[in-house]
Amino acid sequence: MSTLQRDPREQVRVLDEDGRVVDGATVPDLDDDQMVEMYRNMKLARHFDQRAVSLQRQGRMGTYPPLSGQEGAQIGSAMALDEEDWMVPSYREHGAAYARGLKLHQTLRYWMGDERGNELRDLNIFPVAVPIATQVLHASGLAWGAKLKGDRKAFMCYFGDGATSEGDFHEGLNFAGVFDVPAVFFCNNNQWAISVPRERQTASETIAQKAVAYGFEGVQVDGMDPLAVYKVAREAVEKAKADDPEDLRPTLIEAVQYRFGAHTTADDPSVYRDDDEVERWKAKDPIPRLESYLYEQGVLDQERIDAVQQSVEEEVADAIETAESLERPEPAAIFEHVYEGMPKRLQQQRQYLEQLRERHGDEELLE
């Protein structure tokens, strides 16, 4: 087995807050088109997020978990995956899922209450996991199964800092370390698990160092630096698919970042954090950071920046129109996909709903 490499208490960075390469850092080997793709995906994720929050406020969509501030971590990590690799999300990875091929209107449909938005045929993306940390176990099992079958695939599992307080997190990482599964555990440490601050989650100096107890490498990265995230995620993916079985190892990545908005649209963050804290983190915004770097490198100019903005606005508008034009699911669909086979109590509840609909009609029930 390979020995631990980086000190999990030292944060990996490539770009500073002004978009300059930090001393001693190496820019990952991405060509200009890939850099622009990364930038556009981040811009699209931000605009999509703003429009999705607006849709919820207008009553056109249900509760929604915003991602603004986390675009660098999501896009940087998703782009580090190869086509055959798998993404195992929590419930906030809208940008990463888009980068992996999921259409925006599918994400909108899901949060509009249409389970068909969670159809993932021909995509190496596992279904959204709203329960905290359950997907960590799924990822470890999926990765172990792939290893047993001899498949050369990596499985990147996303979760928040709050998930590290769950038993599923520890069980999943312990299993991964024992069996050397090809998994990358990606912790979006956005400082708040709803209203609980990171310092209340663990007494560890970093979350990354928890990996040491499970026998594999933990890496802390500036989660608002997309190039640094891509760099460490790509290294972790390559380690998960190493040619020599002795070198194949899982990795825990702690991406230190911040969610600018609420935990979900049902949350009021002003109750538990102050505006000064938010503004300090907004100074680290991943989008202008990458934009400044690419501008100085001559990859972007104002004309291209404007073109990117226009294209993402049009794409998001088209996705909203598509999602809202699709036929709404039948109310009875809420009982489907809960269990592999529907138990008797759910059958009875569905039958009761149908009786109410026949008696009162859908409009009166909604009132």
Selecting among 40, 100, 109, 259, the annotated active-site residue is 259
Does the annotation count 263 as an active-site position? yes
Does the annotation count 105 as an active-site position? no
Structure confidence at residue 322 (pLDDT): 97
Predicted TM-score (pTM) above 0.85 = yes
Structure confidence at residue 328 (pLDDT): 87
Angle CA 49–89–270, to nearest 5:
45
Selecting among 105, 234, 263, 289, the annotated active-site residue is 263
Structure confidence at residue 363 (pLDDT): 65
Does the annotation count 272 as an active-site position? yes
Selecting among 57, 116, 200, 272, the annotated active-site residue is 272
Q: Which residues of the chain have pLDDT under 50?
A: 1-3
pLDDT in tens, 34-64: 999 999 999 999 999 999 999 999 999 999 9
